[in-house]
Amino acid sequence: MPSEINVGLVGYKFMGKAHSNAYMSVDKFFDCTAKPVMKAVCGRNATAVAEFAQRWGWESAESSWESLVARDDIDLIDIGTPGSTHAEIGIGAAKAGKHVFCEKPLAMNMDESRRILAAVRDAGVKHMVNFNYRRVPAVSLAKQMIDADEIGEIRHARFTYLQDWLVDPMFPMNWRMRAESAGSGAHGDLGAHSIDMARFLVGDLESVVGQKKTFITERPAEGTSSGLSATAGEGTEQVTVDDCSMWLAKFAGGALGTFEATRLAPGRKNFNRFEINGSKGTLVWCFEDMNWLKFYSTECPEHAQGFRRIMATDDCHPYVGNWWPPGHILGYEHGFVHAVYDLLEDIAHDRPCLPDFRDGAQVVAVLEAVDQSMEAGSWANVERVE
Amino acid sequence: MPSEINVGLVGYKFMGKAHSNAYMSVDKFFDCTAKPVMKAVCGRNATAVAEFAQRWGWESAESSWESLVARDDIDLIDIGTPGSTHAEIGIGAAKAGKHVFCEKPLAMNMDESRRILAAVRDAGVKHMVNFNYRRVPAVSLAKQMIDADEIGEIRHARFTYLQDWLVDPMFPMNWRMRAESAGSGAHGDLGAHSIDMARFLVGDLESVVGQKKTFITERPAEGTSSGLSATAGEGTEQVTVDDCSMWLAKFAGGALGTFEATRLAPGRKNFNRFEINGSKGTLVWCFEDMNWLKFYSTECPEHAQGFRRIMATDDCHPYVGNWWPPGHILGYEHGFVHAVYDLLEDIAHDRPCLPDFRDGAQVVAVLEAVDQSMEAGSWANVERVE
Amino acid sequence: MPSEINVGLVGYKFMGKAHSNAYMSVDKFFDCTAKPVMKAVCGRNATAVAEFAQRWGWESAESSWESLVARDDIDLIDIGTPGSTHAEIGIGAAKAGKHVFCEKPLAMNMDESRRILAAVRDAGVKHMVNFNYRRVPAVSLAKQMIDADEIGEIRHARFTYLQDWLVDPMFPMNWRMRAESAGSGAHGDLGAHSIDMARFLVGDLESVVGQKKTFITERPAEGTSSGLSATAGEGTEQVTVDDCSMWLAKFAGGALGTFEATRLAPGRKNFNRFEINGSKGTLVWCFEDMNWLKFYSTECPEHAQGFRRIMATDDCHPYVGNWWPPGHILGYEHGFVHAVYDLLEDIAHDRPCLPDFRDGAQVVAVLEAVDQSMEAGSWANVERVE
Amino acid sequence: MPSEINVGLVGYKFMGKAHSNAYMSVDKFFDCTAKPVMKAVCGRNATAVAEFAQRWGWESAESSWESLVARDDIDLIDIGTPGSTHAEIGIGAAKAGKHVFCEKPLAMNMDESRRILAAVRDAGVKHMVNFNYRRVPAVSLAKQMIDADEIGEIRHARFTYLQDWLVDPMFPMNWRMRAESAGSGAHGDLGAHSIDMARFLVGDLESVVGQKKTFITERPAEGTSSGLSATAGEGTEQVTVDDCSMWLAKFAGGALGTFEATRLAPGRKNFNRFEINGSKGTLVWCFEDMNWLKFYSTECPEHAQGFRRIMATDDCHPYVGNWWPPGHILGYEHGFVHAVYDLLEDIAHDRPCLPDFRDGAQVVAVLEAVDQSMEAGSWANVERVE
């Protein structure tokens, strides 16, 4: 059993920062069988990546992913770049015999997803997709409670992921609003999280029907400061992804679901929420109050039934005992630390990881089915990834 | 201008009680141009209706609606019976030249709806459907704020109406679970409220797609006590309506919507909720906290933006000044009093009522379009009622 | 056993309206052993009281309380006037052999309280003080749960009653801001409710220490419109009561308490709230969300402990089954109907009423003890009313 | 200006961990003028402290604070031990010319507080007390809003700090329940935080009156597992500190306050809450929802006034821009990172720190005044620390 795992990270922006923090923190708070060694970080801008390496304590920097995966002293490749690059890097890493940890979404489409899944399977390496919200303690607790039959047979599931950062029409373009780099808009970016959560908590989706829309079709070109007016056609750029998507689902287990993702809901900052109604109880969670899980049980005495607001910060709750005493709330980045902890333990003990690339591919399959339903104006079946 | 309006009420159960209370209370709290006179209440069980009349102060009782509408001393017929009887009674009342106030839904289908609408138009009488939630002060306030452009152009609208009274599979059958008497289940009963609210606040719906399901297909026969086990097939009855429905909509004005109705959501007692996102703000309301309206405005100073919880009980809020001082919360029945007040004023001043039977028919048209989409598995257009 | 109880009401403003509504409604929703007959309403302005009688259906009007209590056809005198008149009217009514229902506070001071209590005892009539919040269903439920030992031995109790209607310094004077008519300000008006609630739920208070303050010492004279500026000294009047009071208590049972009342808390409209911590649970209630009771129990499974938000609108909750189906929320005036229902039943069945004038006097004793502590700057013992 | 600051930490339990994390993280997320170097950690158990040093990346370990402060390569001594040791270590550190960062409370009593304050002043070193809640972004925002006059003149302030970890009478003894090591119970431990918050947001306290109580006077001896029953007198130990304290205050600026601290409030995990009412607005915050600040303003349009729930995670909010995008919530430890960031910047730029040891001493003075009032049963004046 290894006592150390050498990590090479690709990407040094938002996700690079979140992942670096996880590797830095994990062995301080958790007893890791194998500690991560922050060997190298990789990015195309050599100066910027060198600065990032220095700040975060990465031992070295690389300016191409090919050179990173070619290194003998790397055990695990962590992919924190935009989705359009995941397949290429992931396949390269797998071929080089590295374990692969990949940000969501796994890939841009099913074709890429199948290829990257085949690559990690062929190579026999560990593979995990970072759907970080699974490991928020309140969400992990919800999963435990569902598995323990505390809400019974699931009938309805509602998933909404609402943000508002694009409400201002003067907010300028970036890669997330171009189809070629992002694939889709809110639908893929936020919807992927909801789909993974739905599969985690409710199970596989069978068929879907939906709609999407781009309300703000043109924005100031990238680099333009937000708030500056730009004359249409001059200094503007077309938005080529959706602002929002809404869809319905039938789950394989019989439940019905609604899904919604948008970047145009004023006041919703990171409103990643679910409500699941079972035959004997309900669970509700929202990231904006991420430490709390709401629970209603029909099994309480009748006069005292009500939605319970559980503060998931007690020692008896998943992951929490490693941090602070009860009542000391956790934040966004803690989910990343939990994911990295589980990943490192799975590698050390040679166990399968969850969610793995098959899970990641299955999420892409759902996204594609929704796209098909939108084009067809009717229900579409979800491809089952084996 | 009349100083009194003579009322004849059909129905003496849940809605009969709510309407009686409204007629009894309205001229105590509001300055009515024309006061209602509680002339007669009508029901098929003569003993029961006589007792009801006595309790509530109705001057007389009738045991057939035909004899009620035939009376010369009645100006207004109020229909508070199940939906399957609305068309017949409403048409009869209109032919007799009475104004008609009808509980929702207006009728069982579009054919009935067209006929009842034609009848009141032909007769030139006033007609109003009682979508009572429009006149909850917080909802009326939302309408005023939307009309005053406080949230801008509407983009997303979510309507959920969740209840849990059928979660217990031993809850016995009643007329609401039979297609012949109720038409549909949660879809029509709860969905009708959501559709009216959507039309009131957002505007007309253009096309829809949806799904519905009956999870509990058999229940103890009517009269069986809840909680007693019944052997399947013996003492049980088939449920012939839906437990829940979920659907998507495109509004004529360009907004997208989601709708959901169910009687199987543990913990949701009367969770009639909307969230409407505009280009510069959001409004949220839920009946379970009916005195509060939540409002987010992007026009506040940036550091102090947040969802505001407005207690809609101030003198400056619609209807409220007639009740108690600010901060003294109102309940379910107050919406009925407001509806009756507006109805009486409209009759007294010979003004059109809102929502009228065209609105009621339009709601039925949406319900039918959703049904069609469910059968077809694809989007369906909503018929426009002229 | 009487089948009717003839009521004479003194006062026709805020409380007159709330009490009239209760008499009008009670026998519609509740099965009353003896129905109230709205015999006469009394007020000094003959024209105004006649109009009020007509509007609310009182059979007659009187312009002096003496003539009212002298009438043979009155069984019950209901006192809904300012506190400075309670003792005189109450004693007169008792001497005339009438049952007495009195708004809070019972009287202006202990001397008056002792005299009115002696009067009703001497006369052998029923007597009840209207602390209406006791009979909000969620509060009655709290009482049942405490009696059933669901939160264990009580240790801490917090009572806050916050309003904001005097925040605007241009809000003009009225009788509630003059010591001679109101006795005290927030302290007596709001604090009386909190003290009764504390005695109801926790038990008797033993000793107290407190402070109070008048922040806005001068206001536009009565009749001046709010918002109009008045030059100091000209058209202004001195405020002679407190704006707020804060105090600590030791309960006879060993618990410790904090109390606070103010009319200067922006945003708090009718924030009458308690939180009670016992050895195995906590109960929280606030009038602004009056249909909800929050409950935490240490006896739930450890992973699922949390504050439960109980919607106290189910048939199993006190009083509720007489109104609407579960989930249909009640408002401010429903507490008055419940009080009147219990009062009428107690009279009909010749049972003692609660809270009675001894309770009312005990509340005054606590208010006086707090006043003494404020003057002395040290703890004061509460007189025990026998 | 230094580019590095060498840190020596005393204590390696709860606070040692929180402080170590802050030094590890601060220069990753913030642009530090002078970076902290984790030179040495100190504790009496040499083995345990060596393990801690290794885990957290401290360069060396010391087993006596005397040897730590004697080292030439240390610039800053961080004291994270129980309060009974603060004075001795702090004075020793100051005499050795080190800057001192000290956990709250500053010391056990005023005598100690005066001596440690004199020591740092004589030495001319920087000194800061770690009242970490000041630097939760939502609290820092509240301070900015008060300073910008957004709520006007402050009139009422309520501070409650409620926990429930001692509700179980079988929870065994530890140092926090012994007067000799902890000084007091909830009063000093939790009350110190509330007092600092009150001084930060409202200003100095002038006089106080209070009460306290120990409800559970005997507990299983230390080392006993929670939940095991122990026969009284055998294997038990007397609790010598309070379980709770409640007190009133007059602020120098004219506002009135209530304070409460307890460890016996079931369901309150870390309920550190304030509500501050000004002449034109209210601010409310609670640690259990630490990312949110509630704000009510009387300056909004009348129809749309309500408590606003501000998610203090935007770039425009204090400290937040250094972490994640808007809507990504922060946790308990982030306040420590902010404190360490400000401390390091203050040292680097030779600026005074806040809150400094005078602030820390002033908090102790308030605690002592409350103790005096409890003994005297009357109001006590708060000593003013110069």
Among chain B residues, the shortest Cα distance to C25 is held by B21
Structural domain boundaries, residue B179: 137-289+291-330+361-376
Say whether B55 and C28 touch across the interface (CB within 8 A). yes
Chain C residues inside the 8 Å CB shell of A302: 314, 316
Same domain, yes or no: A122 and A235: no
Average per-residue pLDDT in chain C?
96
How far does Cα C287 stand from its chain's mean position? 13
Separation CA A299–CA A296 (nearest Å): 9
Domain match, D192 and D315 both: yes
Q: Please name the member of A144, A306, A314 whose beta carbon is closest to the beta carbon of C308.
A: A306
Do C184 and C319 lie in one domain? The reply is: yes
- The two structure tokens encoding residue B355: 């929502």
Of C153, C143, C119, C162, which Cα lies nearest the Cα of C357?
Answer: C119
The sign of the dihedral angle between the CA atoms of A355, A360, A362, A366 is positive
Q: What are the residues whose beta carbons fall under 8 Å from the beta carbon of C92, sequence distance 6 or more? A: C65, C66, C69
Where is the domain boundary, A89, A108, A131?
A131
- Count how many pairs of residues, chain A against chain D, have C-beta atoms within 8 Å: 82
Q: With 0-12 CB in 10 A as exposed, 13-18 as middle and 19+ as buried, what is A37?
A: middle
Q: Which value, in Å, is the radius of gyration of the alpha carbons in chain D? A: 21
pLDDT at A167 over 90: yes
What is the rounded average pLDDT for all residues in chain D?
A: 96
**Pairing relationship of beta strands B4-10 and B35-42 according to DSSP bridges:** parallel
Per DSSP, A366 falls in state: H
Task: State which residue of chain C sits closest to D276, comparing Cα positions.
Answer: C265
On chain A, the residues whose CB falls within 8 A of the CB of C314 are 302-303
In chain D, the percentage of residues whose pLDDT exceeds 90 is 94
In terms of domains, do C31 and C53 share one?
yes
Q: pLDDT band for D163, please (50, 70, 90 cuts).
A: very high
Closest C-alpha among C163, C169, C361 to residue C273: C163
* pLDDT per position as a tens digit, D71-81: 999 999 999 99
Helices (H), chain C: 14-29, 46-56, 65-70, 86-95, 110-123, 137-147, 179-182, 186-189, 191-201, 334-348, 357-376
- Residue A114 falls inside a structural domain: yes
> In sequence order, which residues have a C-beta less than 8 Å from that of residue A38 and are 6 or more positions away?
A7, A9, A20, A23, A24, A56, A57, A58, A59
- Mutation choice for C interface testing from D168, D226, D248, D283 by most C CBs within 10 A: D248
Query: CA of B289: which chain C residue's CA is closest?
Result: C289
- On whether residue B345 sits in a domain, the answer given is no
Confidence (pLDDT) at D181: 85
- Given pLDDT bands bounded at 50, 70 and 90, which one contains residue C1? confident
pLDDT at A234: 64
In a domain, A341, yes or no: no
Do the strands D99-103 and D127-130 form a parallel or antiparallel pair, or are they unpaired? Answer: parallel
Helix H or strand E encompassing D198: helix D191-201
Q: Is the peptide bond before B326 cis (omega within 30 degrees of 0)?
A: no
d(CA C122, CA D73): 88
Which of C297, C303, C319 is the best mutation test for A, with the most CBs of A within 10 A?
C303
Specify the DSSP class assigned to residue C216: -
Instruction: Out of D294, D295, D306, name the one closest to residue B310 (CB).
Output: D306
Q: Are C143 and C112 part of one and the same domain? A: no
Q: Show which of A131, A163, A193 is a domain's final residue.
A: A131
Residue A301: partners with Cβ closer than 8 Å, 6 or more residues away: none
Q: Is residue D355 part of a domain?
A: no
Count of H helices and E strands in chain B? 11, 17
C165, C269, C328: residue with CB nearest B311: C269
How far is residue C185's CA from residue C190's CA, in Å, rounded to a whole number?
8
As a whole number of angstroms, the distance between CA D205 and CA D362 comes to 9
Q: Does residue D303 belong to any structural domain of this protein?
A: yes
Domain boundary among the residues B101, B133, B165 is at B133
For chain A, the domain total comes to: 2
Question: Within this chain, do residues B189 and B240 fall inside the same structural domain, yes or no?
Answer: yes
Question: How far apart are the two ends of chain C, measured CA to CA in Å?
Answer: 30
Beta carbons within 10 angstroms of residue C321's beta carbon: 15
For residue D228, what pLDDT is reported?
44
Instruction: Kindly list the residues of chain D whose beta carbon comes within 8 Å of any beta carbon in chain B.
Output: 141, 144-145, 150, 292-295, 297, 300, 302-311, 314, 316-317
Query: pLDDT at position A181, please?
Result: 85
Chain C residues touching residue B24 (CB < 8 angstroms): 24-25, 28
CATH number at residue C260: 3.30.360.10
Q: Compare CB distances from A310 to C141, C144, C306 and report the shortest one's residue.
A: C306
CB-CB under 8 Å, D379 with C379: no
Return the beta strands (E) in chain B as ranges. Answer: 4-10, 35-42, 60-62, 76-79, 99-103, 127-130, 154-162, 205-213, 218-220, 236-238, 244-251, 256-262, 271-278, 281-286, 292-297, 307-311, 380-381
Confidence category of residue A227, pLDDT binned at 50, 70, 90: very low
Check whether residue D48 and residue D174 sit in a common domain.
no
Instruction: Record the pTM.
Output: 0.96
Nearest chain D CA: its distance from B120 CA (Å): 37
Residue C354 lies in a domain: no
Same structural domain, C246 and C366: yes
pLDDT category of residue C222 using cuts at 50, 70 and 90: confident
CB pairs under 8 A between C and D: 127
Single-letter amino acid, residue A359 = D
Instruction: Enumerate helices (H) and strands (E) in chain A, giving the number of each.
Output: 11, 17
Residue of C nearest to B309 (CA): C267
pLDDT tens string D174-232 = 989 999 888 899 999 999 999 999 999 999 999 999 999 999 999 999 875 544 444 54
Which of the four pLDDT bands, split at 50, 70 and 90, describes residue A224?
low
Q: What phi, psi does D189 have (nearest 5°)?
A: -65, -55
* Separation of alpha carbons D170 and C280, rounded Å: 13
List of chain A residues whose C-beta atoms are within 8 Å of the C-beta of residue D27 = 55
Question: How close is the nearest chain A Cα to the Cα of B337, in Å?
Answer: 30
> Using CA atoms, how far apart are residues D178 and D222, in angstroms rounded to an integer?
11
* B212 to A250, A256, B246: CA distances (angstroms): 10, 8, 6
What H or E segment, with its residue span, contains residue A219? strand A218-220
Chain A neighbours (≥3 Cβ pairs under 8 A) are B, C, D
pLDDT at residue C77 tops 70:
yes
Query: Does some domain include residue B349?
Result: no
Q: Which residues of D touch C254 (CB under 8 A)?
A: 215
Angstrom distance (rounded) from CA D370 to CA D352: 29
Q: Helix and strand tally (H, E) in chain C?
A: 11, 17
Of the pLDDT bands very low, low, confident and very high (cuts 50, 70, 90), residue C225 is: low
Q: What is the pLDDT of residues A25-55, one digit of tens each?
A: 999 999 999 999 999 999 999 999 999 999 9
pLDDT for residue D233 is more than 80: no
Structure tokens at A372: 């098909």
Closest alpha carbon to C164 in C46, C268, C287: C268
**Same domain for B129 and B214?**
no
A26 with A97, same domain: the answer is yes
CA–CA gap between residue B370 and residue B195 (Å, rounded): 11
The answer, yes or no, to whether residue A110 has pLDDT greater than 60, is yes
Q: What's the CA gap between C105 and C192, in Å, rounded?
A: 6
> Would you say residue B337 lies in a domain?
no
Same structural domain, B243 and B365:
yes
Residues D230, D224 contacting (CB under 8 angstroms): yes
- Cβ pair C327:B269 closer than 8 A: yes
Nearest residue of A to residue C317, measured between CA atoms: A303
Average pLDDT over residues C267-289: 98
Place C230 in a pLDDT band, splitting at 50, 70 and 90: very low
Q: Is the ipTM of this complex over 0.90?
A: yes
What pLDDT, in 10s, does the model give residues D99-128? Answer: 999 999 999 999 999 999 999 999 999 999
**Looking at the DSSP assignment, which residues form a beta bridge with residue B128?**
B101
Distance, CA of B94 to chain centre: 21
- Is the separation of the CB atoms in A161 and A190 below 8 Å? yes
- pLDDT tens digits, one per residue of D313-368: 999 999 999 999 999 999 999 999 999 999 999 999 999 999 999 999 999 999 99
Question: Is the domain of A74 the same as that of A153?
Answer: no
Mean pLDDT of B50-63: 98
Among candidate residues A375, A272, A245, A266, the one with its CA nearest the CA of residue B258: A245
User: So what's the pLDDT on residue D225?
Assistant: 52
Distance (Å) from the C-alpha of residue C380 to the closest C-alpha of chain D?
Answer: 9
Cβ burial C334-365 (10 Å sphere, 16+ → b, else e): bbbbbbbbbbbbbbbeeeebebbbbbbbbbbb
- Mean pLDDT, residues A193-197 taken together: 98
- Phi and psi, residue B271, nearest 5°: -85, 70
Looking at chain C, the whole-number percentage of residues with pLDDT higher than 70 is 97
Place B268 in a pLDDT band, splitting at 50, 70 and 90.
very high
* Three-state SS letters, C256-269: EEEEEEECCCCCCC
Peptide bond into C355 cis (omega under 30): yes
Of B267, B275, B278, the CB nearest to A296: B267
What is the per-residue pLDDT across A168-191, written as a single tens digit (0 to 9) for each?
999 999 989 999 888 899 999 999
Sign of CA dihedral C373, C376, C378, C381: negative
